[in-house]
Structure 1
Amino acid sequence: MKPVHFQIPKASGETIRVQYEEQPHFYDNLHFHPEVQIMFICEGSGTRFIGDSIGSFSSGDILLLGPNLPHVFRNDKKYYEEDAGLEARNISLFFQMESFGAPFLSLPEVYPLHKLLLASKRGLRIKGETKKQVTALVEQMLHLKGFERFIQLFNILNLLSLSKELEPLSSVGFDGPQNDTDSKKINDVFKYIMNNFSEEVKLQEAANIANMSVNAFCRYFKQHTRKTFSSFLNEIRIGHACRLLIEDRWNIRETALESGFDNISYFNRQFKEITSYTPSEYVKLYREKYPSPLPLA
């Protein structure tokens, strides 16, 4: 099986694929596909990699992923434990831009939609009131067929094309892995980091996994992720720390240790550098925005 190019199963004559998935954890290999994807996370939490963007995801998130944009949603470690009793659920809509046809996309009235689809190549996170409206429309898609489904998709895209509540994720001009060998190396390194970030992660071990010298691996890793290995690892760890802090079960010292930092001063510096807040400021702002009980979306 090719590790990156992913073929979306689609029935004959089906322009829009509506897919509901319920599993112990999401598909956890970095992959891409020619279809545009609108993904609503019904249930689940973890770390998302979209292009060269790293961030957390949780229940209620909804994203627009453009064609051939490398991405993976890696659930938290607890989802991989035996008998965890957890589920990862999502609804995804898949369609190809070519289905609309170049003449249609060139119409003046359709310009906002065309602009949206071009912007989706960076990956877009949908926020605010737009998120609520799009979520309801996506859930309705499960019960629609034929032309009704087609009309509903355009309702969703029209809403998104007019919204100011879309957050671009990946860098402009991001260029992902170019072949299956590159993709397998990046996947294997990602898995090593995600399985070990709360403990000691060794650069030499990551280079060994990629079958490279340390110097060659550092250049290779930055070329494909636009981040140094250490900055990538710190972003993973701080993202995990943010989730622990808002769960209200961990103090700052415990959070630092659980996230792979054995030096509290260094943890505090990295936390502020990545989030722009100290850990205590971050918790305070989150509490003000989401009074108890805390949602994870």
Structure 2
Amino acid sequence: MKVIPFKIPKPSKELIRYQVDRQPYFYDKLHQHPEIQLSCILEGEGKLIVGDYIGRFGPGDIFLLGQNVPHVFRSDDVYYQPEEARQCHSIILFFDLRAFGEAFWASEEMQEVKEFFEQQNGCYRVSLEAQEHFVEQVRQLQHKSKLEKVVSALQLVDMLMHQATLQRLNLADQMHNLSEREGKRMEQVLEFLVEESHRQLTLEEVASVANMSREAFCRFFKERTRKTLVTFLNELRLSNACQALLHSDQTIASIAFTCGFANLSHFNRVFIKTIGITPREFRRQASVTKV
């Protein structure tokens, strides 16, 4: 399957596509599509990568992605191990603005909705006071008739517009609407970094994955992520380290080396600079929260 563009399997004139993903791990290739995407994570944890953003996703999270925004929900490594028998589960709504037609969007009643959708040009974390109720409303769409589904979906959009807080996650627009060639190259690089971030990597090695020179790759990568390779790698490694601090009994030194940091002092410096506290304090606060 081509990485970019990604074709949503649906009838060409379907306005709203309701999709349930229930599998060992989520689709793990960088992809984009013209439909606006609303994702409700029910089970599974991992990394969400969108442009210059690397962050965690987990049960209860809701994300809204604009048109043609390249993204990947990369499940944690444990979900790729058959013996673990874990499962990822999400409900996704795809809004095809093209299928509604120009006359629909030209109507006075739809101007507010049109403006709302046009503003969604990135990836957003959705927060609502009645988060569980919202997810249940999304679930119920699968039982509704075609007309009821459209009406109910627009009611969900109204909740997003007037009751939800949308936190913009990615700051850069360079990853927006990549060409197929650029998307394939970025997908290869991101997959390599995710898989190999546990060890020391050279710029030459990563550039070779993109089949580019050092200089060309540095420009290419920074233009599309607004980060240097070192910064991006450090954030990727910190994400893995935070999960290890929360869910394992490894020593902090062991976690640092396992996640790809050359030494403990460097790990501590990067952790404090990015997270704001020491790894030890991070683990202590997490344990207090659990209690």
Tell me if TM exceeds 0.5. yes
| SS at 2:18 equivalent | strand
Q: Which amino acid aligns with 1:48?
A: L
Per-residue CA deviations over 1:89-142 (Å, capped at 9, x if unaligned) read: 111101122344556556676555334323321111112525333222222222
Q: Decide whether the 8 Å contact of 1:44 with 1:58 is kept in 2.
A: yes
Q: Number of matched residues?
A: 291
Note the residue ranges of structure 1 that are not aligned, 5 or more in a row.
293-297
| SS at 2:143 equivalent | coil
> Do residues 253 (structure 1) and 253 (structure 2) align?
yes
> Do residues 291 (structure 1) and 267 (structure 2) align?
no
**1:164-183 alignment runs, 5 A limit:** 165-171=165-171, 173-176=173-176, 178-183=178-183
Aligned to 1:199: 199
Q: Which amino acid aligns with 2:23?
A: Q
Structure 1: distance between partners of 2:136 and 2:70: 27
| SS at 1:231 equivalent | helix
Change (3 A) 1:196 1:66: same
- 1:53 shift after superposition: 1.4
Per-residue CA deviations over 1:33-85 (Å, capped at 9, x if unaligned) read: 00001011121111111233111111221100111000011111122224331
Change (3 A) 1:213 1:12: closer
Per-residue CA deviations over 1:204-247 (Å, capped at 9, x if unaligned) read: 21111111111221111111221111111111111111222222
Structure 2: distance between partners of 1:222 and 1:27: 25
Change (3 A) 1:253 1:20: same
Q: Which amino acid aligns with 1:89?
A: H
Q: Decide whether the 8 Å contact of 1:176 with 1:225 is kept in 2.
A: no
Change (3 A) 1:102 1:130: farther
Aligned to 2:61: 61
Change (3 A) 1:203 1:100: same
Q: Decide whether the 8 Å contact of 1:130 with 1:165 is kept in 2.
A: no
Aligned to 2:21: 21
Q: Which amino acid aligns with 1:4?
A: I
Aligned to 1:71: 71
TM-score (norm 2): 0.90
- 1:196 shift after superposition: 1.2
| SS at 2:48 equivalent | strand
Q: Which amino acid aligns with 2:185?
A: K
Aligned to 1:120: 120
Structure 2: distance between partners of 1:169 and 1:115: 20
Answer with 102-111 or 68-77: which moved more. 102-111
Change (3 A) 1:81 1:114: same
- 1:183 shift after superposition: 1.5
Structure 1: distance between partners of 2:263 and 2:49: 26
Answer with 84-93 or 242-251: which moved more. 242-251
Q: Which amino acid aligns with 2:28?
A: D
Structure 2: distance between partners of 1:63 and 1:198: 28
Q: Decide whether the 8 Å contact of 1:39 with 1:63 is kept in 2.
A: yes
Answer with 131-140 or 219-228: which moved more. 131-140
Q: Which amino acid aligns with 2:263?
A: N
Q: Which amino acid aligns with 2:290?
A: P
Q: Which amino acid aligns with 1:291?
A: K
Structure 2: distance between partners of 1:161 and 1:283: 37
